[in-house]
């Protein structure tokens, strides 16, 4: 009887499956010693070992380029720590908080903005820390939404998730519970009926945001996992990261957005790459991102249009950085650019 495929966590596993070259072992050992490695069977099955530019491999297989840290890169590139009043909470925006239950993920992305903090060695919130975090939420009536993140909250058991969701739902002023996850694509079998039920709470709206960066990630099993959530009444959104060599061309990015919409998942954010250490080889320019968004606007349904955002380094929050279509002529008339590049005048309101 053949053993079930296992998550690849060590260089020897990657070498045995042809995903890591043996002649780069010394450099890759240094990468793996600093940043966590895990590739689930579902993701490993999508990688073509013969393709040196495989877009799935670029996301998960360690690369010696990660050892090159640029001066502008930072261990906390989006400033979580500056907005963390208690362990596990990030309160950057007035009406919502992040609740980081765990620092473990099913897969570890090579571009992760929390790559210095996540991994199997990281400690989860203790019972006391969770009590304190939930107490903070309860004491701040402006908090309308709680976003469960990490790590990946869906690595936790259905029982554990149900406990946490129930405790959040007991806070009257919290109306929205949102979970950010890779699990439906990274380990679709984990999305069981029991887990789906654990995410719902009477009187509260639950949303799940899927992280996917390439249409190939949306396998039949992944689509079925997402359907289990959506059919249970949990709306799904998506977040993707613009990555060099993964999705930074119009066809690939468009295929991803269409695939998401076909799965009844609304594209939400397209993130510009964060300044995480050792990730410069995966970042594009903002100008390239704006160009891609222009192409998507002209070619694809409005359902397929995410908001292109930059999480401003230092903890200043997300800002839309998509292209603008509005300018003014010398007379003060608004000029609107259409998706073909034509300019059209829109007059100012008539003066009384």
200 is catalytic: no
Instruction: Note the pLDDT tens digit of each residue in 202-261.
Output: 999 999 999 999 999 999 999 999 999 999 999 999 999 999 999 999 999 999 999 999
Conformational region of residue 48, where left means phi above 0, alpha means psi within -120 to 50, and beta covers everything else: beta
96 is catalytic: yes
From 76, 105, 263, 269, active-site residue:
105
CA 257/CA 155 separation, integer angstroms:
25
CATH 3.20.20.70 domain position(s) in the chain = 81-320
Q: Are strands 334-337 and 236-241 parallel, antiparallel or unpaired?
A: unpaired
274 is catalytic: yes
- Is the confidence at residue 137, as pLDDT, over 70? yes
In terms of Cα–Cα distance, which of 46, 16, 10, 53 is closest to 28? 10
pLDDT confidence of residue 118 = 94
Q: What percent of the chain has pLDDT over 90?
A: 92
pLDDT confidence of residue 123 = 83
pLDDT confidence of residue 1 = 56
- Specify the fold of 81-320: TIM Barrel (3.20.20)
Instruction: Note the pLDDT tens digit of each residue in 309-327.
Output: 999 999 999 999 999 999 8
From 100, 112, 115, 187, active-site residue:
112
Instruction: Note the pLDDT tens digit of each residue in 74-127.
Output: 999 999 999 999 999 999 999 999 999 999 999 999 999 999 999 988 888 999
95 is catalytic: no
pLDDT confidence of residue 2 = 63
pLDDT confidence of residue 253 = 98
Q: What percent of the chain has pLDDT over 70?
A: 99
pLDDT confidence of residue 349 = 78
Question: What mean pLDDT is predicted for residues 143-157?
Answer: 97
- Is the confidence at residue 4, as pLDDT, over 90? no
From 13, 30, 93, 223, active-site residue:
93
Q: Which residues contact 124 (CB under 8 A, 6 or more apart)?
A: 101, 102, 103, 104
């Amino acid at each position: 009887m053949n053993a079930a495929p296992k998550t690849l966590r060590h260089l020897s596993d990657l070498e045995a499956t042809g995903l890591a070259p043996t002649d780069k072992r010394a450099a890759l050992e240094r990468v793996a010693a600093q940043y966590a490695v895990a590739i689930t069977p579902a993701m490993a099955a999508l990688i073509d070992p013969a393709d040196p530019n495989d877009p799935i491999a670029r996301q998960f297989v360690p690369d010696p380029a990660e050892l090159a840290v640029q001066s502008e890169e930072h261990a906390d590139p989006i400033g979580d720590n500056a907005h963390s009043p208690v362990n596990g909470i990030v309160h950057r925006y007035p009406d919502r908080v992040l609740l980081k239950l765990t620092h473990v993920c099913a897969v570890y992305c090579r571009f992760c903005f929390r790559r210095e903090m996540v991994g199997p060695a990281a400690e989860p919130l203790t019972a006391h820390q969770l009590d304190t975090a939930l107490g903070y939420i309860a004491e701040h009536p402006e908090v309308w939404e709680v976003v469960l993140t990490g790590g990946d909250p869906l690595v936790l058991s259905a029982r554990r998730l149900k406990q946490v969701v129930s405790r959040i739902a007991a806070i009257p002023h919290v109306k929205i519970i949102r979970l950010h996850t890779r699990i439906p694509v990274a380990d679709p079998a984990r999305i069981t009926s029991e887990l789906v039920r654990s995410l719902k709470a009477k009187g509260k709206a639950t949303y799940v945001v899927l992280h996917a960066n390439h249409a190939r990630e949306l396998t039949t099993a992944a689509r079925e996992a997402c359907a289990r959530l959506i059919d249970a009444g949990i709306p799904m959104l998506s977040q993707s990261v613009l990555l060099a060599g993964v999705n930074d061309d119009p066809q690939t990015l468009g295929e991803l957005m269409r695939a998401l919409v076909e799965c009844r998942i609304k594209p939400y954010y397209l993130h510009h790459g964060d300044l995480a250490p050792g990730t410069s080889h995966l970042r594009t320019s903002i100008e390239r991102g704006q160009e891609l968004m222009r192409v998507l606007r002209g070619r694809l349904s409005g359902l397929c249009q995410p908001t292109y955002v930059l999480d401003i380094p230092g903890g200043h929050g997300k800002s839309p950085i998509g292209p603008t279509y509005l300018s003014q002529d010398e007379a003060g008339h608004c000029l609107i650019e259409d998706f073909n590049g034509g300019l059209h005048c829109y007059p100012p309101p008539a003066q009384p």
